[in-house]
Amino acid sequence: MAPTTGLSARIALDVTEADTAEALRSGTVPVLATPRLLALCEEASCKAIEGSLPGTATSVAKRVQFDHLVPVAVGSRVWADATLDRIEGRRLVFTISVSESAGLVAAGKVVRVVVDRETFLSNVR
């Protein structure tokens, strides 16, 4: 099986203190941290192609373009959507977004590259 354009996934998150910029040391404000948003988007992109990669293949993030638009409070619920828009050889290009009940929180692109898991791990430094 191989990934096809249009594959998508949604991941929800109930924001806790552990998800804040303060907790992740990416800032000094008690709101949903940008690194946590990025991790949520990566999780959604992985879920979108889950089960579609052949054999021992996996995917790894290569590039992220991301705009964090508004702060989100602890106690809020957000959801990340990822849709596979383009396939360029081994590169998979996803459109990502994060929303909450009041609207868009963040948006961008994630490029993942399909690799052989063992070969990739053999190159770890």
User: What pTM was computed for the model?
Assistant: 0.93
pLDDT digits over 43-70, tens only? Answer: 999 999 999 998 899 999 999 999 999 9
CATH for 8-122 is 3.10.129.10
Tokens representing 72 are: 């989100």
HEC letters along 23-73: HHCCCCCCEECHHHHHHHHHHHHHHHCCCCCCCCEEEEEEEEEEEECCCCE
pLDDT digits over 36-45, tens only? Answer: 999 999 999 9
